[in-house]
Amino acid sequence: MLPFEFRAKIITRKLKMPKQTSSPSKQPSSFSRLPAAFRARLDSLQRRLAGQSSSFPKPGTAASLRNLRARLLNLLLLSGAIIGTVLYVSALLPSFEKGLYTANVIYTIVYLWLLVVTFFRRIVYWIRASSLLFILYILGVTNLFYSGLNVDAGLFLLTFIVMTSLLIGLRGGLGTIVLSSLSVAALGFLVVDGALTPSLRLPQENPMLWVIGGLVLLLTGILLTISLKALVSGLETSLVEASALTEELEQANETLRASEADYRSIFENAAEGIFQSTPGDRFLRINPAMARIYGYASPQEMATSVGDIKQGLYVNPAQREEWQRILQENGSVTGFESEEYRKDGSMIWVLSSTRAVRDASGAVLFYEGMLEDITERKRAEEQIQRQFKRLSALRTIDAAISGSHNLRLTLEITLAQIVTQLGVDAADVLLLDPHTQILEYAAGRGFRTPALQHTKLRLGQGYAGIAGLERKTILVTDLRSRKTDFLRSPYFKSEGFDTCCCVPLIAKGETKGVLEIFHRQPVEGDSEWQVFLETLAEQVAIAVDSAQLFTNLQRSNADLALAYDTTLEGWSKALDLRDRETEDHTQRVTEMTLKLARGMGISDVELMHVRRGALLHDIGKMGVPDSILLKPAKLTDEEWVIMRSHPQFAYNMLSSIEFLRPALDIPYCHHEKWDGTGYPRGLKGEQIPLAARIFAVVDVWDALNSNRPYRKAWSREKTLEYVKTNSGTHFDPKVVEAFLRLQQGEE
């Protein structure tokens, strides 16, 4: 693309070309009253002045060459006619003195007639030229010959030879070459015949000399004519080349004009902004689209108003500096985004592509580029980013709700997201006590003082109480000038809040509390902001409801577990009351079993089942008759069979209770022995559950240390010895080692 200044000059010259103001047919009425011939000449002249006449063919065409050659021939012909006429008139007086009246009159009439016919009638050119020159030759030679004016005759004939050679050489045909040669030969015959100079007369008795002289003269005429033709052909070739060059130049100008018209059309009608600016941050040219983008009425207004691009348009001047840096390093900038001011002060985002135009030395002349308004796209991107962040915030809140049952922790995470995503300064949650109907502070974020940590409001009291009671969102602005209910805290004014928004927390149709958000500036929240606020409030309500449900469930589970354990303890006490010999035995072995199990690394969950199993270890004796269970004497073999069935009785009683099934190991297996000689199933080694192996040592230890109807209690040392002795046969050796360490620790 040519530089803009060059294109502008071409357009300027084009605009300054003369324009036809009216057509020839729209002349004043007096024009129609002129003679037809004069009107035709005037019309032709008018068309010539308007650049429309066919007499001026387009440069570089064949018609233009013929026109040029015809003009040259006409000029030569006119010159020859004028010179010949002068010489002829100068010879008339001497010829009249000689008495040549009739011949001169006839010759003059014929000459004038041919002269008129040659210049004013349309006759083939070479016929006109040849006829006129031939008549000039006859008249001039005849008059000068008879008048005896040899010098005048010589000048006339010399002029005739030159004019004839030029005219016929320019015509260039074979016939004209012959005619020119014959003319020169005829002149030569006149000379050598002595008609002009008697001293050159050839002797008539030697005709060979006449023939040789005629051939020499004929050859001279031919050579002169051919030389002139070559000269004219060379001139014509140069004219053809010049015409071709002129035509190429005209085509280039037409292409340039078309390109400039296209560029101008694109520049003026493009939807994108097109500009040129100087390295000094001033606009050179601006198209209408760019002026519209920036809110100006015209490009001239924008170019005049924006004196400094960096300071006048850019919201962040550092963006302009970055743009200049990239342009200097790479020579062009593509897809550069910047935030700029419009005429009315509003801000838009533009996407520009610019290149540097340099001179031959590499110096920057100006910058030119295109830009488009991408404000809507940027807003859409920002909205997508906001929505993505808000979805991430909701996901974080969901994870906090599902991953933690700590309500305070969940509320802190939720409030952090609320403050960040809504762009407010502070937020808190007030929870409703369903029994007292009082809103109490539960968690907060962003407060400078503990202003609201001791809040207690009844439903209907204050903005938060009204929001909770009426179950609708309340927005309060200009808090500084209002008499509010925040007298509940003497420090509230120091927070400097301007806006407060109270949203009720409703889950499953029940009011759980109120979410309060505060901002120290007026909140400019649109409908999307309000919807997101309500969504966050729903999440908070769900978090509160879930936490309350979990708390209630935990409380219910604890109450149920306590009820189970109390029931088990009641059963064990009932067994002790039935068998007075083992009174308090169950409580003692339970406590010692838990100590030993804990020392061996049993988990807390398993310890719970160990405790329940220890409490119910003799539950099977409920199936043993009192006559056997309370018999003071030794039992018979048949009675031992029944007595040893109590572990099976325990299994039959407890196995159908899901809650007690994990505790069956002790009631069912505590009479099994390490060497496999125990009952009821004869399990051996590690086939015996660990809880049963632990309890077996404790049960024997407590039984030997207690009085029975059939024996006295053993001493501590004797019991320990018995336990050591039965290690590996009755008891698990590892359990015995742990038991001995426990006893040593108690000592």
Q: Could you tell me which of 306, 289, 288, 300 has the C-alpha nearest to residue 343?
A: 306
The DSSP line for 144-157 is: HHHHT-HHHHHHHH
The catalytic residue among 621, 634, 673, 724 is: 621
Is the alpha carbon torsion for 235, 240, 242, 243 positive or negative? positive
Q: Residue 110 and residue 132: Cα distance in Å, rounded?
A: 10
- The sign of the torsion formed by the CA atoms of 233, 236, 242, 243 equals negative
The answer, yes or no, to whether the previous bond of 207 is cis (omega within 30 of 0) is no
What does the alpha-carbon distance between residue 615 and residue 598 come to, in Å, rounded to a whole number? 17
Nearest CA-CA partner of 353 in 372, 339, 365, 370? 370
Cβ proximity of 478 and 409 under 8 Å: no
Please report which residue ranges of 270-305 form alpha helices under DSSP H.
Answer: 288-293, 299-305
> In this structure, what are the phi and psi dihedrals at residue 30, rounded to the nearest 5 degrees?
-65, -25
Closest by alpha carbon to 76, among 120, 36, 128? 128
Pairing between β-strand 474-476 and β-strand 426-433 as defined by DSSP bridges: unpaired
Chain length of the chain: 747
The reply to whether 310 belongs to the active site is: no
Q: What distances in angstroms separate CA 340 from CA 295, 313, 344, 386, 660, one per listed residue?
A: 12, 5, 12, 22, 76
* Residue showing tokens 């399990």: 683
Q: How far is CA 84 from CA 115, 133, 158, 189, 195, in A?
A: 11, 9, 11, 21, 20
What 3-state DSSP class applies to 472? coil
**Which stretches within 600-725 are classed as H helix?**
604-615, 626-629, 637-643, 646-654, 665-669, 690-704, 716-725
Q: Which of 439, 548, 576 has its CA nearest to residue 504?
A: 439
Supply 300's token pair.
Answer: 């001239």
In angstroms, the CA 60 to CA 244 distance is: 5
Would you name the residues annotated as active-site residues?
621
